[in-house]
Amino acid sequence: MKKLILFLAAILALSLNSCRETTEEKTEEAIEAIGEDIEDNTKKAGEKIEEGADKVKEEIDEEIHETDDINDEEINDEF
């Protein structure tokens, strides 16, 4: 009877260890995926910021040179 209990305890210990390793591996994979998502989204945000800055620069240049256009026509501010 003692041998059976020891055998079952050994199996339980091995299975718990196996579950722990699997959990650690899944956690590592999840952390890596989160890191990749953060990296990708940071890159996308940077690209959007650059696009916005370029557009603002273009609008400022148009205002300075009075070439701001609507439907590709120059605006005349003469009254």
Whether the Cβ atoms of residue 68 and residue 59 lie closer than 8 Å to each other: yes
Give residue 73's pLDDT band: very low, low, confident or very high (50, 70, 90): low
pLDDT tens, position by position, 30-64: 999 999 999 999 999 999 999 999 999 998 988 88
List the chain domain ranges. Answer: 28-64
Query: Band of the pLDDT at 76, cuts 50, 70, 90?
Result: low
pLDDT value at position 30? 93
Query: What is the C-alpha separation between 48 and 41, in angstroms, rounded?
Result: 10
| Integer Cα distance of 77 and 55 in angstroms | 22
Give 74's strand partners. Answer: 69
